[in-house]
């Protein structure tokens, strides 16, 4: 069963049914471009790749397809990205990205 959202934090791994997603880096939005994130994706079979994404871009983890719906930067330089299943309603407003989820150690 697919989760309803992924909360991906800088420097941490988040597990999915089909693999793992790690937050590598992010840049804040400017007047001329949207926020961007770089993720490390590891499928269950061990295949690893990097994904560079902007809001509403999709990425696959195994057979799951996720859509990036939010990127938030803090004053401390940390960031959080939220992804939802790509087949979810595209105008879904993400819940507070600071909601507690246990990241992988």
Q: Which DSSP letter does residue 104 get?
A: B
Q: What is the mean pLDDT of residues 59-76?
A: 94
Under the phi-then-psi rule, with left for phi > 0, alpha for psi from -120 to 50, and beta for the rest, what region is 26? beta
Domain spans of the chain?
6-85
pLDDT of amino acid 105 = 46
Model confidence at 2, pLDDT cuts 50, 70, 90, reads low
Residues in the chain: 105
């Amino acid at each position: 069963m697919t989760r309803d959202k992924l909360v991906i934090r800088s420097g941490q791994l988040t597990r999915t049914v089909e693999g793992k997603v790690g937050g590598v880096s992010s840049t804040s939005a400017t007047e001329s471009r949207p926020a961007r994130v770089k993720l490390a994706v590891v499928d269950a079979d061990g295949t690893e790749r990097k994904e560079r994404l902007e809001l509403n871009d999709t990425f696959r983890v195994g057979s799951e397809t996720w859509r990036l719906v939010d990127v938030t930067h803090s004053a401390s330089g940390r960031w959080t990205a939220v992804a939802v299943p790509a087949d979810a309603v595209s105008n879904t407003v993400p819940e507070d990205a600071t909601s507690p989820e246990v990241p992988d150690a």
